[in-house]
Amino acid sequence: MNNHANRGVVYQGNGTVKVEAIPFPELAIGQRRCDHGVILKVVTTNICGSDQHMVRGRTTAPNGLVLGHEITGEVIECGRDVEFIQVGDLVSVPFNIACGRCRHCKEGKTGICLNVNPARPGAAYGYVDMGGWVGGQADYVMVPYADFNLLKFPNADQAREKIQDLTLLSDIFPTGFHGCITAGVGPGSTVYIAGAGPVGLAAAASAKLLGAACIIVGDMVEDRLNQARSFGCETIDLKQEGDMQDKIEAILGEREVDAFVDCVGFEAHACGCNHHQESPAVVLNSAMQITRAGGQIGIPGLYVTEDPGAADVAAQQGSLSMRFGLGWAKSHSLQTGQCPVMKYHRQLMQAILFDKIEIAKAVNVQMISLDQAPQGYADFDGGAAKKFVIDPHKMVS
């Protein structure tokens, strides 16, 4: 079925991406057959902060990598061993690739599948160290283990109408929700969310869905903080100097929160007037400072094992300077790692379809064409309060 041309967003090194011709996907990866896979015509594919870590040269991502792990598509071809997914289905693709057969998949830990990446547990499309699977910021992409991985939308016409919300099920909505769940957020919780990027905003909207009493979002980008305020969050502008606990107290009347979600990761900037300076452990340290004793800390923000762009030698190996004794003394629980998207995507799809959340509005989805992807990357890197969603076949706009 190689009768289609294909184009994708390709990493060029040095902060640049380009849209280039790439091979039409096959039901294989290298020598490995994927008769359990499908080919998708990509309906929407989102640009993520995780992509930016690579594009900014802060990982060991090789030049020529086809990017894109947030994919929604229409099935156009099924491998021989696909039983339940059919041509014509409109589906959401979890960014984690999972076999459905290994010990971890059986435990629901699809972010650390043992069979999809020879180098380490866990895989993803279009990502460094994640198994070499081709990314989906493209016209077409192959998805392996399709029966296990894909979430089929119950009604394709209804799904097309809500596609700007449903496109967020491949990553950031489940990721923000998982951040809140692992931070113990529930009815009446007070929550601090570090970072007002798309993941932070998705976490804030999730905290609202979970019934949190007060949601405080911190960042240093004014537009992003305004976006958080637009759906009822309190905000802390980290450009203003001062102690984090004083700032929390000014809002809550207490110096600690019940739950903390790190939606920043290793490229964190120090708080206060020196905010241009990077300080990779600053969010983890403020988590231990402002979370109550016995509280939980969800860490969806990404931390790496190699950071060629880090300021000091230790951080180049992912070693950060944390005041871990403080967290220990307060009996904190910390949860790290990829979000196991499959654990949440069906329930969050239902929340969207039954109008229980306006997640696209919360993260301010902006649709763009495939040719506009390089500009989308640049604007996103500049701190635009937007979630860029590529519409390669102009099926949405």
Ligand X SMILES: NC(=O)c1ccc[n+]([C@@H]2O[C@H](COP(=O)([O-])OP(=O)(O)OC[C@H]3O[C@@H](n4cnc5c(N)ncnc54)[C@H](O)[C@@H]3O)[C@@H](O)[C@H]2O)c1
Using the minimum distance from each CB to Zn ion, give the nearer residue, 102 or 326: 102
Q: Using the rule CB under 5 A, is 113 a contact of Zn ion?
A: yes
The whole-angstrom distance between residue 51's C-alpha and the CA centroid of its chain comes to 9
Residue burial 13-22, b: 16+ Cβ < 10 Å; e: rest: eeeebebeeb
**Does the footprint of Zn ion cover residue 50 (CB under 5 A)?**
yes
HSE-up (13 A, CA, CB side) for residue 218? 30
Residue 196 contacts Zn ion per CB under 5 A: no
To ligand X, the closest distance from the beta carbon of 55 in angstroms equals 11
Angstrom distance (rounded) from CA 126 to CA 310: 23
> 3-state secondary structure string, 259-270?
EEEECCCCCCEC
Number of residues that this document lists for the chain: 397
Residue 256 or 267: the one with the smaller Cβ distance to Zn ion is 267
In the structure encoding, which two tokens stand for residue 94, read together? Answer: 């979890």
Residue 291 three-state SS: strand
Q: Is 63 strand, coil or helix?
A: coil
Question: Is 363 near Zn ion (CB under 5 A)?
Answer: no
Name residue 110's amino acid: T
Contacted by 54, from ligand X, Zn ion, none: CB < 5 to 8 Å by type: none
Query: Between residues 131 and 195, which has the closer beta carbon with respect to ligand X?
Result: 195
Cα distance between residue 121 and residue 117, in whole Å: 6
Indicate the residue among 6 and 92 with the shorter CB distance to ligand X. Answer: 92
Please give the residue ranges that form the binding site for ligand X (CB under 6 A).
Answer: 48-50, 52-53, 171-172, 175, 194-200, 218-221, 224, 238, 263-265, 268-269, 271, 282-283, 300-302, 338-339
Identify what 363 binds: Zn ion, ligand X, none; CB under 5 to 8 Å per kind: none
Q: Residue for token digits 């301010």?
A: 364
Of residues 158 and 230, the one with the C-beta less far from ligand X: 230
CB of 192 to ligand X, least distance (A): 10
Residue 268's binding partner out of ligand X, Zn ion, none, with CB under 5 to 8 Å set by partner kind: ligand X
Q: Calculate the CA 356 to chain-centre distance.
A: 21
The count of residues interacting with Zn ion (CB under 5 A) is 10
Q: List the structure tokens of 165.
A: 């919300």
Binder of residue 99, out of Zn ion, ligand X, none (CB less than 5 to 8 A by kind):
Zn ion
Position 128 contacts Zn ion (CB under 5 A): no
* Residue 228 near Zn ion by CB under 5 A: no
Per CB under 5 A, 163 contacts Zn ion: no
CA 193 to CA 181: how far, in whole Å? 13
Residue 369 partner contact from Zn ion, ligand X, none using kind-dependent CB cut-offs of 5 to 8 Å = none
User: Which DSSP category does 189 fall into?
Assistant: -
Residues forming the site for Zn ion (CB under 5 A): 48, 50, 70, 98-99, 102, 105, 113, 115, 171
